[in-house]
Amino acid sequence: MKKLYSRLLIGFFGGAVIGNLLVLLTSDANGPFCSMELLKRVGSPAAAYAVQTLLSALLGAVGMGGMSLYEKNNLSLSYATILHFAVIETVFLPVALFLGWIRPSWKEIFLMGGGILIVCVLIWLSLYFYYKRETKKLNNINRSKRK
């Protein structure tokens, strides 16, 4: 449980930083440093920036907290990946729509969902090969102890 809380905390602050950095890198240098849709929704640049920061932090916390699914011994790697993907999609798409990061069109929703799917597949592959390598190491240790 302690590991989950530390991941949530790291994800919360990391998400806030990464979300705002991405917006800063894609915004006009004169501001506002949020989408125009969000600015219209909340009224002031300061409020929009605060909402954007909090929701970016939420996305980071969900992403990092969801990594704990991979350590559940009763879940297969595939099932944990599917759950992680479902949790991220369920939270990310409404947040991205609200923040104005994507427009409410099926094309953009599917493109963003596909991008998240690709990231999840890459996570799955990296974890698969990592656990495969670790299992091989443990098997070699066990074989050497039997000799």
Number of independent structural domains in the chain: 1
Measured between alpha carbons, how far is 69 from 127 in angstroms, rounded to an integer? 12
Q: DSSP class of residue 30?
A: T
CA-to-CA dists, residue 61 to 45, 91, 122, 123, 135, angstroms: 24, 11, 19, 17, 29
Measured between alpha carbons, how far is 11 from 9 in angstroms, rounded to an integer? 5
To which residue do tokens 């799955």 refer?
124
User: Coil, strand or helix: which one is 35?
Assistant: coil
User: Structural domain of residue 65, as residue ranges?
Assistant: 2-146
Measured between alpha carbons, how far is 136 from 17 in angstroms, rounded to an integer? 37
Whether the predicted pLDDT of 135 surpasses 70: yes
Encode pLDDT of 43-80 as tens digits.
888 898 899 999 999 999 998 888 888 777 788 878 88
Best CA proximity match to 63, nearest among 10, 137, 125: 10
36-62 exposure pattern, b = at least 16 Cβ within 10 A, e = fewer: ebbbeebeeeeebbebbbebbbbbbbb
Q: To the nearest whole number, what is the mean pLDDT of the chain?
A: 86
pLDDT band at 91 (very low <50, low <70, confident <90, very high): very high
